Amino acid sequence: MRTPALAALLSAATLALTALPAGAVLPAPPPGSPPATMLDALSRDLGISHDAAASRLLAQDAAEEINRTLPAWIREQSPGSWLDEATGKLLVAVTDDQAAARIAASGATPVKVTRDRAELKRLSAEVARLAAGGVPGLTGWGIDPVTDTVAVRITAAARDRSSEKFGKDVAGLGDGVRITYVAERPRPQGGDVRPGGRWLPGGEANCSIGFPATDSGGGRHFLTAGHCTNDVDQPAWGSDGQQNRIGTSNVGGTHSVFGREGDMGLVGVTESSWRLSSSVNTYGGPAVDVTGATEPLVNQAVCHAGVTAGWQCGKVTAVDQTVVYTVATLEGITHTTACSLPGDSGGAWLAGTRAVGLHSGGYSSCSPGGARDQSLFQPVGEALGKWGLTLHTAGGSGDGQAPTAPASLRASGITSNTATLEWNASTDNVGVAGYRIYNGTALAGTSTTTKATVGDLAPASSYTFTVKAVDAAGNLSTASAPVTVKTGADDTGRTFTTTANAPIRDFQTTASKVTSTASGTTRDPVTVSINASHSCIEDLDITLTGPSGQNHVLHRYGGYTCHPLIGTTTYRVQTTERAAGTWTLSVRDGGPGDTGTLERWSLAL
């Protein structure tokens, strides 16, 4: 008799390996690189190249490692952490100089804010008090560390007297709370029972498997959504018609949560014919093996597998949010831009090859998709901790061998604030995934090649850099021999600034020009610093056009939940075109109801 795998669930569930058409041949990715299926999906869903997707995953792996090691006192004080979308570096909101110094020493970037976590928690509790009686159209709220505020979400179509009163009451809490209007209300996703269904709770609708896990006694389980496991001691089936039993859901009535604590449930795998697998079904591509778990971070690239939408990717836009479904209010939920459909509930969310969440719900649409709260998930770490579980991973493959140290580290192209480093490639028993560059002991950057430019250096200062190689299993090499760099004096002759004071109006383009007299080609990267204000950055397309006519997209329009553009925002452009001539910054406002001002901008060539 053929023994089915839990991951297979009739060869089609969330953790399944799906069969390829006869004769199909898939190209093998380079050894040590991220899974090709993940790079394909990230490229498709985020609109970036395969190389950019690989670089993004490498940078966020390093940032996640720093985030996991932040001291408890900083976590308790900070409104939150997020990833810089341009560089992948970890940004941490702080309110005092001591915390800022500790963050900088770790290799992350501190961002000074005025409100600490306690104050934002107080404001969040006030919003909860105001919402206690129910507010039509209210879909949730939570801390937004990027803006140092509590964001409250209401569906635009649900405005009535009670929601207007709620809005006025919220406004009375001060500028630490802001309201954004979203397209629709997210909802838990169930789906219809149909042939080829995945795991089914009793005789109910489809749900998706999250992650297999074991308990301290060796008991076998898989995690899924709490709204899929609400019934006590319910049989869990592998196919329609209550056939191919897997085990029992919500054993004893203590293994399901759907409410303030979140959306998570546990199914006990009791049938010996089912085995646990760490291979995530990517629905048509090679499986992705789960290697561990991590926490969600804003701007983190993530993918999920579900029985209806298949394999979809996006980025995290908010963490630790309160979500108001029509049937329950949940806390601690993560928002993403990835699309999902009914039947995906409980499915696996990954950041790279690490488990990050269990699918909860969303807009139940992949056309067009892309909203900032398109799909929602429950962080997986909370579920593992609640029931004392160990994630079932691919770690048994036993790659504990680190790459060799990078050799011949050298520096070139040194300016007043940048240095370009190059080194000889490392080798590994499986393959090198990338490199981490250190300034002293602090992480300065990552690279998927043997070259990197380190920026944000002070003029006329000395720095000592080393490089370490990392493989797909996360093994780090020893450090390269160090190289010491001294930056040049302040080179103001290659920095050009213009004061625009130009309004940014709905459905119009604001253009501002600066003329460069710098000689030769630009230094890679070109740094663009924009000082502007706008109430909704999601409405904006921001483009830099060089003297040659080449366009460089700095920010793309998209998203339903608005975040303000405030202060100075810095972008880095990879280009080596002619430096002299006219450079044009264009800001196009493609949405209604939000305006702003382009105050000034500078260009470092």
pLDDT at 167: 84
Tell me what the mean pLDDT of segment 153-175 comes to: 82
The alpha-carbon radius of gyration of the chain (Å, integer) is 25
Higher pLDDT, 358 or 455: 358
| Cβ contact 285:36 at 8 Å | yes
| Cβ contact 83:89 at 8 Å | yes
CA 5 – CA 209 distance, rounded (Å): 12
pLDDT at 395: 59
3-class DSSP assignment, residue 317: strand
Q: Does the structure show a pLDDT above 80 at 16?
A: no
Tell me what the mean pLDDT of segment 310-333 comes to: 93
Tell me what the mean pLDDT of segment 286-311 comes to: 91
Q: Does the structure show a pLDDT above 70 at 159?
A: no
pLDDT at 491: 61
Residue 398 region, left (φ>0) first, then alpha (ψ -120 to 50), else beta?
A: left
pLDDT at 337: 93
pLDDT at 158: 63
pLDDT at 199: 79
Q: Record the pTM.
A: 0.72
Q: What is the pLDDT of residues 502-521, one digit of tens each?
A: 889 888 999 999 998 888 88
Higher pLDDT, 562 or 166: 166
Q: Does the structure show a pLDDT above 60 at 7?
A: no
Q: Which helix (H) or strand (E) holds 457?
A: none
Residue whose pair of structure tokens reads 């706008």 in the numeric block: 534
CA 488 – CA 509 distance, rounded (Å): 38
pLDDT at 24: 34
Closest CA to 107 of 81, 76, 72: 81
3-class DSSP assignment, residue 439: strand
Residue whose pair of structure tokens reads 């048509």 in the numeric block: 284
Q: Does the structure show a pLDDT above 60 at 193?
A: no
Q: Which amino acid is at 359?
A: H
pLDDT at 197: 38
pLDDT at 30: 52
pLDDT at 560: 64
CA 270 – CA 238 distance, rounded (Å): 13
Closest CA to 307 of 375, 224, 210, 207: 207
Q: Does the structure show a pLDDT above 60 at 486?
A: yes
Of the CA atoms within 13 Å of residue 412, those in its CB half-sphere come to 8
pLDDT at 472: 79
Distances (CA, A) of 605 to 495, 511, 515, 519, 575: 6, 20, 12, 10, 10
pLDDT at 195: 27
Tell me what the mean pLDDT of segment 99-119 comes to: 91
Give the bridge partners for 187, in sequence order. Answer: 362
Q: Does the structure show a pLDDT above 80 at 319?
A: yes
Q: What is the DSSP letter of 227?
A: G
pLDDT at 588: 92
Higher pLDDT, 1 or 423: 423
pLDDT at 228: 93
pLDDT at 361: 92
CA 370 – CA 338 distance, rounded (Å): 6
pLDDT at 184: 78
E strand map for 163-271: 177-182, 187-188, 200-201, 212-214, 220-224, 234-239, 243-249, 256-259, 262-269
CA 163 – CA 160 distance, rounded (Å): 5
Task: Please state at what angle helix 117-131 crosses helix 161-171, rounded to 10 degrees.
Answer: 160
Tell me what the mean pLDDT of segment 218-243 comes to: 90
pLDDT at 32: 60
Distances (CA, A) of 114 to 100, 176, 242, 291, 525: 13, 10, 56, 38, 32
Q: Of the given ranges (69-83, 291-305, 559-573), which has the lowest mean pLDDT? A: 559-573
Q: Of the given ranges (61-70, 196-205, 405-414, 472-481), which has the lowest mean pLDDT? A: 196-205
Q: Of the given ranges (291-305, 321-335, 530-544, 562-576), which has the lowest mean pLDDT? A: 562-576
3-class DSSP assignment, residue 408: strand
Q: For residue 503, which phi and psi values (nearest 5 degrees)? A: -70, 145
CA 578 – CA 522 distance, rounded (Å): 6
Of the CA atoms within 13 Å of residue 201, those in its CB half-sphere come to 29
Two tokens, residue 7 = 């991951």
CA 279 – CA 286 distance, rounded (Å): 9
CA 574 – CA 221 distance, rounded (Å): 47
DSSP 3-state percent helix, strand, coil across the chain (nearest 5): 15, 40, 45
Known catalytic residues?
227, 263, 345
pLDDT at 33: 67
Residue whose pair of structure tokens reads 């629709």 in the numeric block: 184
Q: What is the largest CA-CA distance in the chain?
A: 77
Residue percentage of the chain with pLDDT more than 90: 44
Q: What is the pLDDT of residues 167-186, one digit of tens each?
A: 889 889 998 998 887 877 78
Bridge pairing between strands 301-306 and 348-351: antiparallel
Tell me what the mean pLDDT of segment 383-406 comes to: 83
Give the DSSP per-residue string, 370-424. --TTSEEEEEHHHHHHHTT-EE--GGGG---PPPPPPEEEEEES--SS-EEEEEE
Q: What is the pLDDT of residues 18-33, one digit of tens each?
A: 333 333 333 444 556 6
pLDDT at 181: 79
Task: Please state at what angle helix 50-68 crosses helix 36-46, rounded to 10 degrees.
Answer: 100
pLDDT at 28: 43
pLDDT at 29: 46
Classify residue 202 by burial, with Cβ atoms within 10 Å: 0-12, 13-18, 19+.
Answer: exposed
pLDDT at 400: 73
Classify residue 21 by burial, with Cβ atoms within 10 Å: 0-12, 13-18, 19+.
Answer: exposed
Higher pLDDT, 276 or 183: 276
- What does the mean pLDDT of the chain come to? 85
Tell me what the mean pLDDT of segment 231-255 comes to: 89
Q: Which helix (H) or strand (E) holds 171?
A: helix 161-171
User: CB atoms < 10 A from the CB of 246, how many?
Assistant: 26
Q: Which helix (H) or strand (E) holds 419?
A: strand 419-424
Tell me what the mean pLDDT of segment 67-71 comes to: 90
Q: Which amino acid is at 184?
A: E
